[in-house]
Structure 1
Amino acid sequence: MPPAKKPFHIAICGGGLGGLALAIGLLPHPHITFTIYESASAFGEIGAGVGFGANSHKAIQLLSPALWDRYRTRATFNGWESKSRTWFDFQVGAGPEEGKRIMEVLMDSAETQSTCHRAHFLEELVGFLPIDKVAVMSKRVVSIEQPEGEKVRIVFADGTDARADAVVGSDGIRSACRPFVVGDDPALQPRFTNAYAYRGLIPMDLAVAELGEEKARNRQMYLGPNGHILTFPVAKGNMLNIVAFHGADDKPWEGPWVKQDQKEAMERDFEGWGKNPRGIMKLLKSPDVWALYEHPPDAPSYHNQNVALLGDAAHASTPHFGAGAGMAFEDALVLSRLLPLCDGPADIQRAFKAYDAVRVPRTQAVTRESRKQGLVLDMRGEGVGEDLEKLAASLNKN
């Protein structure tokens, strides 16, 4: 028989979707213990709807078939059976051709995309774990250090610290774990992408009354000059999720990254848009606006010594492929397969190097292409602009 593997302990810093997914993936391996350190006093997600595509679905299934079953109890698909394969119906949202259909982008099969309310999915992830035994709340990480030959030390804002054989930083775009991995190079810090998005939810009955059954119950995207609006059902079809993107015209973002109650600003930005976009704006009572930041896709590595980054802490991206959460689940899946192969703490860096080899090129390609896609959707794409035929060709390609 092979020798028993030496036990080791992992600190998961950040209890969002990606961090909890990694914890679930490690549960079946008794030689690996972990602690989840969450900065908030309770688990919770900001934002509303989140989308998953085919690769994300596969990642969830491979992490845990039981988790996939739970996800499906929360997932929402297009409301009409005839639209089961529709990724989005694209149409012109403003200007003389307002209302004209650009194209319907179809997926390969009916279950290659779904949406879910973030908070609802987080509830399922939390319920999957022995939270009282593995999570410590109100622990905001401020720094990471690893003296040579020693365990990783995590320092918290409350003055306490903890040690672990390895750390996985899943603490978001403004990660406190990231500086230990990528350093303080300004070129690798979060950068504003010259765009922002208004977000909110509308009760489905009101959406149907305003937009009609087809446009309310199925995924739609309205494209216009310097902006686009996407809508999709969430909460098992009881709510319509709205995300209205707008360009910032190369102006720097000022103030908090998320601002509440921005209805007047939203109406100014989308003044002159068509009937359906105006109807959506009318129903959104107090939307938040989110500045869209990304990590430049140039980091040479997502790990340093025994510290690795996951999800937005590693590769925050604009959301124009709906792939951000899915990338975090892919990260979690890869780490949950590599770490159990370690015979002990001495092998952890080898696992993290293998993680780098597959995740860095994929996630950075998504970041680059998502930024380009956002310009296409705002009718500002290079070589595409407002030409509807070129738009259709570009959308079908992506």
Structure 2
Amino acid sequence: MAERSSLSIAIVGGGIAGLTLTVALLTKCPHIKVTLYESAAAFGEIGAGVGFSPVMVRTMGMIDPRIEAAFIKCNKGNVNPDPPVWFTARVGDKRKKGVELGEESFTIPAREGPNGGVHRAQFLDELVKLVPEGVAQFKKRLRDITEATDGSGDAILHFADGSTAQHSAVLGCDGIKSRVRQIVLGDVPEAQAVFSGKYAYRGIFPMTKAIEILGEEIPKMPQMWLGYHAHILTFPIANGTLFNVVAFGSRPTWEDKNWVVQTSRDEMMEDFKHFIPAAQKIIENMQKPDIWALFYHLPAATYYTTKPLICLVGDAAHASTPQQGSGAGMCIEDVHVLSELLSACRQKEQLTNVFHAYDAVRRPRSQRLVATSKEAGKLWEFEGEGVGDDLDALRNNALSRMDWIWDHEISKDLMTAKLMMKEGLPNTP
């Protein structure tokens, strides 16, 4: 018989972070009643690729083996070279002199183990299967969170449809435009995402077409085409049947209120007019010339508050640009640490210690990713400080810059957090 408890938790947002956290709590915390609130009418993700390193995939298995199995199912069919490769870098910009354009400049090794890209929407579909019926409520757009007036200290969630819900605590997984983040941080610049100076075109087309353009081998392996103030990233997804493309450009400001805007195919091609024909052919085959502005979060002073109890998870806490391919992986790490701490939490009074310990171990690491991903966005476009278009310096930087992400021992973080929780360190932001 399931253990009973008065604890109830609201999870706001049904993306990768929200769904994995829901599955984690249902698996590890039968004593906690969990409700997931999603603003849309159904779960859904953009049709783009998302990558995970081996350490992130192993962490999925620590949360729930079914989550790791979902990744492996979506990743099946992608080529995993021996030894493993993160990306092969090639110069795609014809303005770079003294190099063989389009040829391998250097390769960044990856770590052993399951890794690579999956179709974001496909992975989400697999995660949805792990959430029992009745756990999620849809069309629940959050307006505000207030403290209950009944003396319980509970959180009251106020939704756009006029309804409310009362829970012991709220976990905000509502992404880069997080309303929960705004409530936790208040009226400060860090509450809103800021433009990174970079934007991207995202596209997917059949692997057969990519093979026509690039030959049999190159499309099946992750590639990075370097250029001045622009670069192109490609990797296989959907069991090797689809070719995922992210083509990056630069501009100093973003004036449009929308973060995704439509442009013309001619304008898209203009951004890559200096690239070699093969790279331009990749761009030509992208179906929609939509520009995705790349925003990120300035470092928050805290990931939680206590009146009422609210905690930020995933992109709501630390949205980063994608140039190091680890943003979704950081969400997975968040979920593992937080769900483990909550599994030992039996009383509402312990939640402050849970959130404090989570904040202490997760905030420095996740905010470091935001900062270094922004640096990487410059590096891949010959803008890196002290590096520029020096390929030897670029290679040396690239070969070591992922070590702290890939070789991290999340178990040590968890041990530290559990000790902090046990000691009950006081903190009431």
**TM-score when normalising by structure 2:** 0.88
User: CA-to-partner distance for each residue in 1:305-331, whole Å, 9 max, x for gaps?
Assistant: 110011111111011110111111111
Report whether the alignment pairs 1:226 with 2:229.
yes
Indicate the SS of the match to 2:51: strand
Paired with 2:4 and 2:136, the residues of 1 have a C-alpha distance of 24
Aligned pairs for 1:19-168 within 5 A = 19-28=18-27, 29-76=29-76, 78-79=78-79, 81-82=81-82, 85-95=84-94, 96=97, 97=99, 98-111=101-114, 113-130=115-132, 132-147=133-148, 149-168=152-171
Structure 2 residue 6 is the aligned partner of structure 1 residue 7: yes
Deviation at 1:71, TM superposition (A): 2.0
Specify which of 249, 252, 270 is matched with residue 254 of structure 2: 252
In structure 2, the CA distance between the partners of 1:261 and 1:271, relative to structure 1 (3 Å rule), is same
What is the letter of the counterpart of residue 86 of structure 1? V
Question: Shift of residue 142 of structure 1?
Answer: 1.1
What is the deviation of 1:48? 0.8
> CA offset at residue 58 of structure 1?
1.8
Q: Helix, strand or coil: the match of 1:108?
A: coil
Q: CA deviation at 1:263?
A: 2.6
1:183 match:
186
Check whether the contact 1:80–1:217 (CA below 8 A) recurs between aligned residues. no
Q: Is the 8 A contact 1:145 1:154 kept in 2?
A: yes
CA displacement, residues 2-44 of structure 1 (integer Å, 9 cap, x when unaligned): xx87331000000111011011111132211111000000100
CA 1:287–1:234: 2 relative to 1, 3 Å: farther
Corresponding residue number in structure 2 for 1:302: 303
Other-structure match for 2:318: 315
One of 352, 373, 388 as aligned partner of 2:376: 373
**1:140-186 per-position Cα deviation (integer Å, ceiling 9, x unaligned):** 00111125752101111111111100100101111111122111102
Structure 1: distance between partners of 2:399 and 2:318: 25
Q: Aligned-pair distance for 1:346? A: 1.5
Residue number in structure 2 paired with 1:274: 276
Structure 1 partner of 2:292: 290
SS at match of 1:139: coil
Contact 1:140–1:156 (8 Å) recurs in 2: yes
RMSD of aligned alpha carbons: 1.6
Range with bigger deviation, 89-98 or 144-153? 144-153
Note closer, same or farther for the CA distance 1:81–1:319 as it changes in structure 2 (3 Å cut): closer
SS of match in other structure, 2:352: helix
Asked whether the 8 Å contact 2:24–2:335 carries over to 1, the reply is: yes
| Distance (Å, rounded) in 1 between the aligned partners of 2:222 and 2:147 | 47
Q: What amino acid is the match of 2:110?
A: M
Q: What is the CA-CA distance between 1:77 and the residue it aligns to?
A: 6.6
Q: Report if the CA contact (8 A) 2:330-2:366 is conserved.
A: yes
Aligned to 2:79, the other structure's residue is in SS state coil
Deviations 1:175-229 (A, max 9, x none): 1111221111024421001110000001110110111112111110000000110
Residue 110 of structure 1 deviates from its aligned partner by: 4.5
Alpha-carbon separation, structure 1, partners of 2:262 and 2:61? 36
**Structure 2: runs of 5+ lacking an equivalent:** 402-429
User: Would the alpha carbon gap of residues 372 and 8 (structure 1) be closer, same or farther in structure 2, given more than 3 Å must change?
Assistant: same
8 Å CA contact 1:5, 1:342 repeated in 2 = no
Residues paired across the two proteins, number = 390
For residues 320-345 of structure 1, the C-alpha deviation after alignment (integer angstroms, 9 at most, x for no partner) is 11011111111111111011211211
Q: Structure 2 vs 1, CA of residues 346 and 5 (structure 1 numbering), >3 Å: closer, same or farther?
A: farther
**What residue number does 1:204 align with?**
207
Amino acid in the other structure paired with 2:134:
K
Show the counterpart of 2:357. Answer: 354
Aligned AA (1:232): F
Cα 1:121–1:81 change in 2 (3 A) is: same
The letter for the 1-side match of 2:30 is P
Most deviating of 258-267 and 357-366 = 258-267
Q: 1:71 to 1:251 in 2, by over 3 A?
A: closer
* 3-state secondary structure, aligned to 2:145: strand
